[in-house]
Structure 1
Amino acid sequence: MIPTALTADQVNARLHELTVIDVRTTGEYASGHLPGAHNVPLDRLDTALPALKTAAGRGGLLVVCASGARSATACRRLADQGITAATLIGGTTAWTQLGHDIHRPAGTRSPWAMDRQVRLVAGSLVLTGLIAGQRWSAARRLSAGVAGGLVFSALTNTCGMARILAKLPHNRPKAADLDATLAALTGGQKPVAEPVRRA
């Protein structure tokens, strides 16, 4: 049994014995992930429960995301289903800051990281509300609403806008990709190795 939270250095020492589940969006995963990680986006976690239960029965299950927030949520949801999993403290951000290897599919152009997508959309909506508010004062409510949403997001460590953006086609896995991941988890296979690239 592994602890419920591991540092990047602890994970690096035990990576060969862990099944790693990356719960970021497909685009974020393609931008660089832990070696051998399987991509099961957080919003598809329920679909993957049987395969994750099988994988956890074989050994340690590690869930990762960019910062550790989504992976902690995933671990709680898995625990509710009787599946024990650990989270990577600080996520892939901490992993790359310490210089550990990441994998990126060669020749893949990945979309922006989710936090960057959120900043673009939130900033665009605020700017639109302010500019439109010059002519129609009611448009300023858009800016106020986005600001309130950002404050709520920070206080609750959740992000409704990220949930919405995760549903866009460029952030979602193809059904065949998710099916292949679930088959690999059930069969105990590691993903095909990709070229190692430094962050």
Structure 2
Amino acid sequence: MSAPRTALSLTPAALRALTEEGRAPRLLDVRTPGEFRTVHIPGAYNVPLHTLREHRAELLSHLDEDVVLVCRSGQRAREAEQALGQAGLPGLRVLEGGMNAWEAAGAPVERGAERWDMERQVRLVAGSIVLTTGLVGLLVPGAHLIGTAVGAGLTYAALSNSCAMGVLLSKLPYNRGPRTDLRTVIAELRSAS
């Protein structure tokens, strides 16, 4: 059995230096359209992770190894790197620390309308459920068990590095934004070659 592949990473400082030298790699931002509209690196292409996985064969012929994958913290970008690597494009790089690290480094960004990120939304919903069921539990025996179930779900989410509540919240209109038109992205990738 072979060892799992680890994605190559690129620090925000190294990416910024490449950009300032005019040698910027192509940036594929695999976050949701809503996250991308809120803040992204100038010149990045938005190809949400689910779209990338579904259409990786189509994207493959328009990408080369001079691509850096970007998400909020690096997790989804590593998943995108694995998906593209399995499809035949190895050696892609992931922005170390994602947009969080890029912004913390004071690197340039393009901003849109401010919106809450998914992690904050999950904390609000989970906290509200636990608080409400805890208070209702004072009057209705057993209601606190709903909060206990939410706590168990959050524990599982942390251990498995997945989040069912985040997936559900991402389907709300607030988080969706316009769908990514793959033909437009491919045309932009082709024209940038």
Q: Normalized against structure 2, the TM-score is what?
A: 0.83
Residue pair 1:19, 1:60 contacting (<8 A) in 2 also: yes
Deviation string 1:75-120 (CA, Å, 9 cap, x unpaired) is 122222222321111111111111110112xxx4243111111111
Deviation string 1:35-58 (CA, Å, 9 cap, x unpaired) is 21111122222233134312323x
Q: Which residue number in structure 1 is paired with residue 79 of structure 2? A: 73
Q: Which residue number in structure 1 is paired with residue 192 of structure 2? A: 189
Q: Give the CA deviation at 1:139.
A: 2.0
Q: Which structure has the larger Rg?
A: 2
SS of aligned partner of 2:26: strand
Residue type matched to 2:79 in 1? T
Q: Which residue number in structure 1 is paired with residue 4 of structure 2? A: none
Q: Normalized against structure 1, the TM-score is what?
A: 0.81
Q: Which residue number in structure 2 is paired with residue 159 of structure 1? A: 163
For residues 152 and 42 of structure 1, the distance between their equivalents in structure 2, rounded to whole angstroms, comes to: 22
Residue pair 1:48, 1:182 contacting (<8 A) in 2 also: no
Give the alignment partner of residue 44 of structure 2, picking from 37, 44, 49.
Answer: 37
Equivalences for residues 9-24 of structure 1 within 5 A: 9-15=13-19, 16-24=23-31
Q: Give the CA deviation at 1:26.
A: 1.4
Identity within the alignment, %: 37
Q: Does 1:109 align with 2:109?
A: no
Return closer, same or farther for 1:175/1:155 CA change in 2, 3 Å cut-off.
closer
Q: Quick one: higher RCO (CA 8 Å, sep 6+), 1 or 2?
A: 1
For residues 125 and 178 of structure 1, the distance between their equivalents in structure 2, rounded to whole angstroms, comes to: 38
Residue pair 2:81, 2:93 contacting (<8 A) in 1 also: yes
Q: Which residue number in structure 2 is paired with residue 143 of structure 1? A: 147
- Note the aligned Cα RMSD (angstroms): 2.2
